[in-house]
Amino acid sequence: MPAPAPRAVPAGDTPTDASLTLLSIPGTTQAEVDTYWLKHVYQGDRLPQLTLRAVLLGAGLGVLTCATNLYAGLKTGVAFGVAVTAALLASAAHGTLRRLSPRVAGSPLSLLELGCAQTVASSAGYATGGALVSVQGAWLLTTGHHLPGVTLLAWTFLLSALGVLFAVPLKRQLVDREQLPFASGAAAAATARALHSGGEAAGPRLRMLGVGGLIAGALTLARDGFGRLPYAFAFPGTLGGVPLERLGFALETGLMPVGGGALLGVRVTASMWLGALVVHGVVAPRLMAAGVVAPEGDFLAWALWPGAAALTTASLLQFALQARVWGRALRGLRGPRQAPHPIEALQVPGRWWVAGMLVLTPATVALARVGFNVPVPHALLAVALSFVLCLISCRVTGETDVSPVGALGQVTQLTYGVLLPGDVRANLATAGITVNAASSSADLLTDLKAGHLLGANPQRVFLAQLVGCVVGALVVVPLFYLLVPEPSVLGSERFPAPAATVTAGVAAVLASGLDAVSADLRIAMAWAAGAAAVLTLGEQALPERFRRWTPSAVGMGLACLLPASTCLGFFLGGLGWELARRWRPGSDGPGVTLAAGLIAGEGLVGVGIVLARALW
């Protein structure tokens, strides 16, 4: 029997300030939780949400967030959540438009319109580019050529939309019933509230976002646009008879790693710097002295292999240690059997989900067969496997705010390394299904968490997410071709692209076996994998007070794939963030937006320079 439609919130039940600052919905039973949300928080029937101006604003900002995250992913290998940044940009952009052209801008955005714009921009910026910086970059490195534009565009949209659909059945369990934190979504909701209320917290956040963007953008323009700054200032001196400049020890003039380090935290970034000191400061000079790597050769091409071994081992071991998460995720699919609550009428209808799956699944399988030569049964299995892995990705993102798409993609690579041994293209194509779908599904639930706390209509959040997928695909694919016109761009000083090199390395090993790797590299890979396993297990076994002092296996593994100068930039950002927090407690909000501004400023100006050179 269909659930009764929810009633609009009458004037006497207008949400109070207290209900709009909740991070979880109170109640001892699920019915009480749902009733409280519907009565005191839900505003979808009294405030505009999915309006044309909100969608257009979000789409315009989605172009910016999409360009920024693609640039950052190619440069650092790290994808940064853009939910908070998108909310800030939406508020600032519409406020500026109202001052310049009040008639065009209209009345101030409602709280839910601000949330809608944030959802579209976040979806475009985060949900569509993950596979490009890893799997499609690996495809280019492996095959030496790009996919046809139409194929890559369709592939990117289909997988992103598929991930959005995968997340729909999980929303009620993970967001409504268990109320998992989804920290980025909760932060976006808190930011939207502060911006909409015009409170004291809004001004400093917007100023810090602007300051960070202007500084990073100006430095990027001076360096990449006018050639007035070097890429880095090399350190003087030598190590083991090799100049520090040759080993990559320098101070970069780009601030994107600094902003990224502030968001990653001091533990991971200190591990990256420690790894750089070991790998680039100790291992590299010895290899060069022994003649294993030529003094003028590319050491990062050698270090790629132990780095990939360390990252793959750490990711898969962490994945295996989360068996409890798998159980909770699978049990949560069933959900409690109870009478339907009026809140069910607001959820995405089951017929939408079924219709979407009936369209997207055959389309994905057909494109996998035609574009990547993946056999139909194996493509169907990849879609089914990706649903299970998306389930785990959403659970982990909800609990930790970190989406483990890299590890999940490697699970798919290992699976198809067994099912289709030697077929590198099928290996990368099926991994792409998992990576894009997992990032898209996690992003939808993050946006649904923000919308849940703001009292948004879940159906409209879902539709806004799909709009973002369309915008993101239309923008990110042409940008990828412009930023990466040929394979030599990846792995260069400009775009180290660690995610792509790791994915390509895993695919190569699975295709040809370890016998194709030299003996010295096999030994280095074994040592790196063993060290990563020890660090990962130690992190899990040690008491909480000692864990923060344990080096991060992921951080040290990334040091093998990035120049030492980039690792130093990450560390300076993480250290500066930690010192600022200790010096001024409560500075988290402006600090996060300053870091986001540094990333956005360099990313947008860097993309703009590439576009200007391509067009003029």
By three-state DSSP, how is residue 250 classified? strand
**Is 464 in contact with 123 (CB distance < 8 Å)?**
yes
Mean pLDDT computed over 389-395: 77
Look at residue 201 in the predicted model and tell me its pLDDT: 57
**Is 74 in contact with 564 (CB distance < 8 Å)?**
no
Confidence of residue 22 (pLDDT cuts 50, 70, 90): low
Look at residue 254 in the predicted model and tell me its pLDDT: 84
What would the 3-class secondary structure string for 406-474 be?
Answer: HHHHHHHHHHHHHHCCCCHHHHHHHHHHHHHHHHHHHHHHHHHHHHHHHCCCHHHHHHHHHHHHHHHHH
Q: Is the pLDDT of residue 505 over 50?
A: yes
Look at residue 572 in the predicted model and tell me its pLDDT: 93
Q: For 200-206, which contacts have Cβ atoms below 8 Å and span 24 or more sequence positions?
A: 201/589, 202/91, 204/589, 204/590, 205/88, 205/589, 205/590, 205/593, 206/88, 206/91, 206/92, 206/593
Look at residue 340 in the predicted model and tell me its pLDDT: 66
> Which residues sit opposite 250 in a β-bridge?
234
Q: Is the pLDDT of residue 500 over 80?
A: yes
Residue, of 610 and 93, whose pLDDT is higher: 93
Q: Is the pLDDT of residue 363 over 50?
A: yes
Look at residue 359 in the predicted model and tell me its pLDDT: 94
Q: What is the number of helices (H) and of strands (E) in the chain?
A: 28, 4
Mean pLDDT computed over 217-237: 88
The Cα 406–Cα 169 span in angstroms is 23
The Cα 249–Cα 235 span in angstroms is 6
Look at residue 2 in the predicted model and tell me its pLDDT: 38
The Cα 598–Cα 602 span in angstroms is 6
Confidence of residue 513 (pLDDT cuts 50, 70, 90): low
Residue-averaged pLDDT of the chain: 81
Q: Is the pLDDT of residue 511 over 80?
A: no
What would the 3-class secondary structure string for 148-170 be?
Answer: CHHHHHHHHHHHHHHHHHHHHHH
Confidence of residue 380 (pLDDT cuts 50, 70, 90): very high
Confidence of residue 282 (pLDDT cuts 50, 70, 90): very high
pTM: 0.74
Mean pLDDT computed over 411-421: 79
Confidence of residue 9 (pLDDT cuts 50, 70, 90): very low
**Is 600 in contact with 262 (CB distance < 8 Å)?**
no
Reported as a single tens digit per residue, the pLDDT across 48-58 is 999 999 999 99
**Is 519 in contact with 498 (CB distance < 8 Å)?**
no
Other residues' Cβ atoms within 10 Å of the Cβ of residue 84: 25
Confidence of residue 12 (pLDDT cuts 50, 70, 90): very low
Mean pLDDT computed over 496-520: 76
Mean pLDDT computed over 122-141: 79
> What are φ and ψ of residue 161, in 5° steps?
-65, -35
Tokens of 451: 């919308």
Look at residue 333 in the predicted model and tell me its pLDDT: 47
By three-state DSSP, how is residue 239 classified? strand
Mean pLDDT computed over 552-571: 86
Residue in the block written with tokens 């790009």: 146
Mean pLDDT computed over 437-452: 86
Look at residue 17 in the predicted model and tell me its pLDDT: 45
Look at residue 417 in the predicted model and tell me its pLDDT: 79
Q: Is the pLDDT of residue 463 over 90?
A: yes
The Cα 502–Cα 523 span in angstroms is 18
Mean pLDDT computed over 182-194: 77
Look at residue 406 in the predicted model and tell me its pLDDT: 67
Q: Is the pLDDT of residue 460 over 90?
A: yes
Highest mean pLDDT among 65-74, 237-246, 599-608: 237-246
Look at residue 520 in the predicted model and tell me its pLDDT: 83
Measured CA angle at 55 (ends 473, 10), to 5 deg:
140
Look at residue 117 in the predicted model and tell me its pLDDT: 92
Tokens of 35: 């009733």
Q: Give percent of the chain above pLDDT 70.
A: 85
Among 245-249, 337-341, 345-349, 571-575, the range scoring the smallest mean pLDDT is 337-341
Residue, of 46 and 545, whose pLDDT is higher: 46
* Residue 147, CA distances (Å) to 129, 139, 150, 212 in order: 15, 8, 8, 36
Look at residue 339 in the predicted model and tell me its pLDDT: 53
Mean pLDDT computed over 484-493: 84
Q: Is the pLDDT of residue 571 over 90?
A: yes
Q: Is the pLDDT of residue 159 over 60?
A: yes
**Is 398 in contact with 448 (CB distance < 8 Å)?**
no
Look at residue 552 in the predicted model and tell me its pLDDT: 85
Highest mean pLDDT among 76-90, 108-122, 256-270: 108-122
User: In what helix (H) or strand (E) does residue 37 lie, and over which residues does it extend?
Assistant: none
Look at residue 329 in the predicted model and tell me its pLDDT: 47
Q: Is the pLDDT of residue 41 over 70?
A: yes
Mean pLDDT computed over 526-544: 86
Parse the chain into domains and list their residue ranges.
40-330+369-615
Single-letter amino acid code for the residue at 101: S
